[in-house]
């Protein structure tokens, strides 16, 4: 399998995943032309994308979906509540390309897909695991809190993409964010803090995870250094050494991330 986060953050989200014979995107939150440009940077023809999995209907996850999916005739998979919330924005996508996610487990060609519910202020929000030939990539972003069930879902993945949105102190001191927005972000339907992420990673260590990509960082209320510092602190406090346990990467907003090849 191959994996590359094309963009991650409040300005747009899109992740490329490749199996043995199938290429998919998780979300399409950049313009069509920008998705095309970023795919080209890793040598991928947009016309080779078979399907797009949609986590939820917020614009930073679907901004380019209507134009990209219709141009390249991609199958689009989303929860029925998400389709209802997107309905007026997806008029170009043919009915034959629209697929409801009605079961937590389904297949796209040789790829096994597992979906799981996330707590976020949207019509319905999903995380995804993509499984191929014994390898598993999981993605969970845009969630206000993480449950033990979600931890178990992520725990046997080769690579986990997990939100690390904000540092609470930095958020609360930010004069540009009104109080209602701060409360939304901090709520159980908002976004994970660095501490939330670190404590979740601690629970997952020892379950076969080789890589962690921290995603959806707030450009104003977080930094990569703050994320890594919190991860190191929480793991060290519990007797571990982060660098010896797992490889950690940070997803970017304005540039593509590393292209990973996940071996069995």
pLDDT in tens, 140-193: 999 999 999 999 999 889 999 999 999 999 999 999 999 999 999 999 999 999
Strand arrangement, sheet containing 135-140: 105-108, 111-118, 125-132, 135-140, 159-163, 211-215, 247-250
Q: Please indicate, yes or no, if residue 205 is contained in any of the structural domains.
A: yes
Residues 20 and 95 in one domain: yes
The per-residue pLDDT for 155 is: 86
Q: Please indicate, yes or no, if residue 115 is contained in any of the structural domains.
A: no
The C-alpha atoms of residue 83 and residue 236 are separated, in whole angstroms, by: 43
Range of the domain at 246: 143-253
Q: Please indicate, yes or no, if residue 45 is contained in any of the structural domains.
A: yes
H or E segment to which residue 242 belongs: helix 242-245
The per-residue pLDDT for 263 is: 84
The per-residue pLDDT for 181 is: 96
Q: Please indicate, yes or no, if residue 183 is contained in any of the structural domains.
A: yes
Strand partners, 131: 112, 136
Which residue shows structure tokens 């991928």? 44
The per-residue pLDDT for 253 is: 97
Per-residue 3-state assignment (H helix, E strand, C coil) for 197-224: HHHHHHHHCCCCCCEEEEECCCCCCCCH
Residues 56 and 149 in one domain: no
Cα torsion for 35, 38, 42, 44, to the nearest 10°? 30
Query: Does the pLDDT at position 51 exceed 80?
Result: yes
Q: Please indicate, yes or no, if residue 258 is contained in any of the structural domains.
A: no
Residues 70 and 153 in one domain: no
CATH number for the domain that contains residue 68:
3.60.15.10
Q: Please indicate, yes or no, if residue 130 is contained in any of the structural domains.
A: no
- In the chain, the number of structural domains is 2
The C-alpha atoms of residue 212 and residue 217 are separated, in whole angstroms, by: 14
| Mean pLDDT, rounded, of the chain | 96
Query: Does the pLDDT at position 246 exceed 90?
Result: yes
pLDDT in tens, 108-147: 999 999 999 999 999 999 999 999 999 999 999 999 999 9
The C-alpha atoms of residue 209 and residue 242 are separated, in whole angstroms, by: 12
Mark which of 83, 104, 125 sits at the end of a domain. 104
Cβ 116 vs Cβ 104: under 8 Å:
yes
Query: Does the pLDDT at position 264 exceed 80?
Result: no
Cβ 231 vs Cβ 197: under 8 Å:
yes
φ, ψ at 49 (rounded to 5°): -75, 120
Q: Please indicate, yes or no, if residue 126 is contained in any of the structural domains.
A: no
What is the pTM for the complete model shown?
0.96
Q: Please indicate, yes or no, if residue 49 is contained in any of the structural domains.
A: yes
Mark which of 104, 131, 160 sits at the end of a domain. 104
The per-residue pLDDT for 206 is: 77
Residues 243 and 181 in one domain: yes
φ, ψ at 90 (rounded to 5°): -120, 35
Mark which of 51, 82, 104 sits at the end of a domain. 104
The per-residue pLDDT for 76 is: 98
pLDDT in tens, 179-229: 999 999 999 999 999 999 999 999 998 787 889 999 999 999 999 999 999
Contacts (Cβ under 8 Å, ≥6 apart) of 113: 53, 77, 105, 106, 107, 128, 129, 130, 131
φ, ψ at 15 (rounded to 5°): -130, 135
The per-residue pLDDT for 217 is: 98
């Amino acid at each position: 399998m191959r994996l590359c986060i094309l963009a991650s953050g409040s300005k747009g989200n899109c992740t490329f995943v490749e199996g043995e014979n199938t290429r998919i995107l998780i979300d399409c939150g950049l313009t069509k032309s920008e998705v095309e440009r970023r795919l080209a940077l890793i040598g991928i023809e947009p016309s080779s994308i078979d399907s797009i999995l949609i986590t939820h209907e917020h614009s930073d996850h679907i901004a380019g979906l209507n134009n990209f999916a219709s141009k390249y005739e991609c199958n689009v998979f989303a929860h029925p509540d998400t389709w209802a919330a997107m309905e007026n924005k997806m008029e170009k996508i043919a009915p034959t390309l629209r697929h409801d996610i009605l079961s937590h487990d389904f297949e796209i060609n040789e790829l096994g897909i597992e979906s799981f519910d996330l707590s976020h202020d949207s019509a319905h929000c999903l995380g995804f695991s993509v499984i191929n030939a014994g390898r598993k990539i999981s993605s969970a972003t845009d969630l206000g809190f993480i449950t033990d069930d979600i931890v178990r879902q992520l725990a046997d993945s080769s690579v986990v993409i997990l939100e690390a949105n904000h540092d609470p102190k930095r958020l609360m001191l930010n004069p540009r964010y009104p109080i209602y927005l701060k409360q939304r972000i901090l709520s159980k339907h908002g976004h994970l803090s660095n501490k939330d992420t670190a404590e979740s990673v601690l629970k997952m260590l020892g379950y076969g995870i080789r890589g962690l990509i921290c995603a959806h960082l707030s450009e104003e209320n977080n930094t990569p250094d703050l994320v890594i510092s919190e991860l190191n602190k929480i793991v060290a406090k519990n007797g571990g050494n982060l660098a010896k346990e797992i490889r950690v990467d940070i997803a970017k907003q304005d540039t593509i991330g590393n292209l990973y090849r996940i071996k069995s």
